[in-house]
Chains A and B, each alone.
Chain A
Amino acid sequence: MLNELKKSLITAVWFMFLTFPIMVIKVNTVYNTIVWRWHNLIYIGVGAFFGSMIWRWLHYKKTHISERNIRERLKNGLQNAIVDNKKVLYTLIAVAVAFTFAFPHMSNAYQINIMTTALMYVVLGLGLNIVVGLAGLLDLGYVAFYAVGAYSYALLNHHFGLGFWAVLPIGGALAMMFGIILGFPVLRLRGDYLAIVTLGFGEIIRLVLENWNAFSFGPSGISGIDRPSFFGLTLNLSQSMTALYYLVLGFAVITIFCVNRLQNSRIGRAWLALREDEIACQAMGIDKTKTKLTAFALGATWAGFMGVVFAAKTTFVNPASFTFLESAIILAIVVLGGMGSILGVILAALILILLPEYLRAFSELRMLIFGGSMVLMMVFRPQGLISNVRRKYLFDKMNFGGEKTNEAK
């Protein structure tokens, strides 16, 4: 016990030391003086001390559980109880659906706007989840496809007056094309190399948009993009925000449906196999090239759709919206959620996008909390919030059929 206290104490001191420059020293640039905020140090120390106690306790519990029989753990795990138990699962889904549908009627324009953004990130996260989570291809340039979608709508609307619904499939298709264009040269690359090339690709797209003034209007971007029309209705701003919310919600639902079907299909299993072991995957008769390209193309398509939605939502696009940070956030959603887990990605997207909004009060600490929680996640739950549960098959001994008991979310 004393040992535990000592460990927590050391952690606390470490945190105090590490955060000292950001949390305690504040330079007042107006008067050129330094403000020493010693009270912050105390908060950090006490917080880190108890935080580390709690973490260690959780960790202890976790390792303790893992010593038990695996199947017993499977039965007992809350997450599995939820996913395995259809009643609980459907109730939860019903509540979530009811809430999301009722949401615009219970909140103001600001809330709706934030929620729409969060849902867009759910879709983006699920799209990238195909590439990173399922197929295991580390893509750091995902935002490029988002940009392709956004600029397709912005440019086609600006030059030809094309409407949202006409451009939506075009944006998706163009992004898919770019996905394949990126896919081909990186087919031979893995891991770090793949990450670097995709990162470069994302930056190239952004730089082109920034510098090719004649094409993309450079850093100043394109404004005055039309909002989506809905059945020819004339909507005021707030109505149109609500409509957009439902549009994105619909998108999210369709995406969840699609990704869920994909991951339990022949193609989805091939992606997983590719992620798990590339050589074994090929030796089992899977065409690596095709499998990778499908993953890239499909992942990109979703980003393209969301790009079009993004342009329609903000009515303004410029290259600053498509920086690496954006890719990093989407990637963080996938990693935090648990590679390949749909439920995890949804949760992570909501947490990562909503929390900072509601934590504006602590805006100074926002990035710190963000970074800190990511590090803690990696240490204590590297498999993500919700680990991917694979579909279970139930076989009737007499009747040889492929009945399923549940579908993994």
Chain B
Amino acid sequence: MKQNDQTLPVLEVKGLTMDFGGLRAVDHVDMEIQNGEIVALIGPNGAGKTTFFNCITGIYTPTSGDIIVHTKFGEKRINGKKPNQVTELGLARTFQNIRLFPNMTVLENVMIGRHCRTKAKVIGALLRDPGTRKEEKDAAAVSYGILEKIGLTHLANEMASNLPYGAQRKLEIARALATEPVLLLLDEPAAGMNPQETEELTGLIREIRDQDKIAILLIEHDMKLVMNLSDRIYVMDHGQRIAAGTPMEIKNNPEVIKAYLGEEADA
């Protein structure tokens, strides 16, 4: 089902621009992500990284530019599509400020991710015909399987709001995985995690790429994680893409160093 050919792109972004009134939060950004790649998007706070995510995932409609997703159905331009349509096409995301469903159980949170891959309607819910029952059972089983992978099964029936912080971040990833994405977008997944949790997360992200063949685009400030994981890195500052390349190239890029040092000098 998923394309295993490493050279095929999953996502192509061309000249993406997003204005908020007079503020240009994203300024003609290009990006291309290949199948099975782990790509990092870094940059100082306020650079426009989250806004870039929001444009791609349909939460904002970009001012201009093209966003093209390559699915098994062919190329799809997704500008202006609703978030749920984008998710259906195979992009799933997590949020920088955790956005779980606090008064639902952990398992139910993941099962929500199955929504767009299942079909039961009101009539099915009321009659609980064999088809619906099977679908429900499968949804629960698949979700449980994802929790097993993430290591949260012991909390499956706990309310999401009762989870410790690190587990909440993980649950966001689990929920996104349940939508069967081809590209997973992670917005600062390690934020607030301790070094050990970050280590675990690094392993998990790599596992998702290697085993599930899902491409990953992540925003992250933890440079150790970024350098460890990424195949390629994009750097944004003031809405613009200021650099792109392998971790080695980025480390030694004078523009990048300036952007980060400049930020520190400002602070």
Report B126 CB to chain A, min CB distance, Å. Answer: 6
Set of chain B residues within 8 Å of A285, measured between Cβ atoms: 84, 87-88, 113, 115-117, 179
Set of chain A residues within 8 Å of B6, measured between Cβ atoms: none
For residue A287, CB closer than 8 A to chain B, the reply is yes
Set of chain B residues within 8 Å of A269, measured between Cβ atoms: 104, 108, 111-112, 115
For residue B49, CB closer than 8 A to chain A, the reply is no
Interface members, chain B 145-179 (any A CB < 8 Å): 145, 153, 156-159, 162, 175-176, 179
For residue B224, CB closer than 8 A to chain A, the reply is no
Contact with A along B119-142 (1 / 0, CB 8 A): 111101110100010011111110
Contact with B along A204-227 (1 / 0, CB 8 A): 000000000000000000000000
Report A284 CB to chain B, min CB distance, Å. Answer: 5
Contact with B along A366-409 (1 / 0, CB 8 A): 00000000000000000000001011110100001110000000
A284 touches which of B87, B125, B136, B138 (Cβ 8 Å): B87
For residue B82, CB closer than 8 A to chain A, the reply is yes
For residue B242, CB closer than 8 A to chain A, the reply is no
For residue A45, CB closer than 8 A to chain B, the reply is no
B93 touches which of A276, A283, A391 (Cβ 8 Å): A283
Most buried by B among A70, A262, A268, A286: A286
CB pair B113–A284 under 8 Å, yes or no, is: yes
Most buried by A among B83, B120, B136: B83
For residue B95, CB closer than 8 A to chain A, the reply is yes
Chain B interface size range: 35 or more
Interface members, chain A 228-287 (any B CB < 8 Å): 258, 261-262, 265-270, 272-273, 276-277, 279-287
CB pair B87–A390 under 8 Å, yes or no, is: no
CB pair A276–B103 under 8 Å, yes or no, is: yes
State in angstroms the CA–CA spacing of A388 and B101 once bound together: 14
Set of chain B residues within 8 Å of A288, measured between Cβ atoms: 82, 84
CB pair A70–B84 under 8 Å, yes or no, is: no
Q: Which residue of A is nearest B178, CB measured?
A: A284
Set of chain B residues within 8 Å of A70, measured between Cβ atoms: 158, 162
State in angstroms the CA–CA spacing of A307 and B188 once bound together: 52
State in angstroms the CA–CA spacing of A400 and B145 once bound together: 9
For residue A353, CB closer than 8 A to chain B, the reply is no
Set of chain A residues within 8 Å of B137, measured between Cβ atoms: 401-402
For residue A143, CB closer than 8 A to chain B, the reply is no
CB pair A261–B125 under 8 Å, yes or no, is: yes
B120 touches which of A258, A265, A277, A287 (Cβ 8 Å): A265
B82 touches which of A282, A393, A401, A402 (Cβ 8 Å): A282
For residue B250, CB closer than 8 A to chain A, the reply is no
A266 touches which of B57, B104, B136, B179 (Cβ 8 Å): B136
Set of chain B residues within 8 Å of A268, measured between Cβ atoms: 125
Given the known interface contacts A267-B120, A282-B82, the answer about A262 and B126 at a Cβ–Cβ threshold of 8 Å is yes
Set of chain A residues within 8 Å of B117, measured between Cβ atoms: 285
Most buried by B among A270, A277, A288: A277
Q: Which residue of A is nearest B145, CB measured?
A: A400
State in angstroms the CA–CA spacing of A400 and B156 once bound together: 14
CB pair A280–B101 under 8 Å, yes or no, is: yes
State in angstroms the CA–CA spacing of A284 and B88 once bound together: 9
For residue A157, CB closer than 8 A to chain B, the reply is no
CB pair A402–B112 under 8 Å, yes or no, is: no
Set of chain B residues within 8 Å of A261, measured between Cβ atoms: 125-126, 128
State in angstroms the CA–CA spacing of A277 and B160 once bound together: 13
CB pair B99–A279 under 8 Å, yes or no, is: yes
Report A83 CB to chain B, min CB distance, Å. Answer: 13
For residue A298, CB closer than 8 A to chain B, the reply is yes
Give B contacts to A, CB under 8 Å.
57-59, 82-84, 87-88, 92-93, 95, 99-105, 107-108, 111-122, 124-126, 128, 132, 135-141, 144-145, 153, 156-159, 162, 175-176, 179
| Between-chain CB contacts (< 8 Å), 5 pairs | A261-B128, A282-B84, A283-B83, A283-B92, A283-B95
Kindly list 4 other residue pairs between chains A and B, CB separation below 8 angstroms, not including A266-B118, A400-B145: A258-B126, A286-B112, A298-B122, A400-B141
Q: Which 9 A-B residue pairs are closest in the complex by CB-CB distance?
A: A285-B116, A265-B125, A402-B140, A285-B87, A402-B137, A276-B101, A280-B99, A282-B83, A266-B120
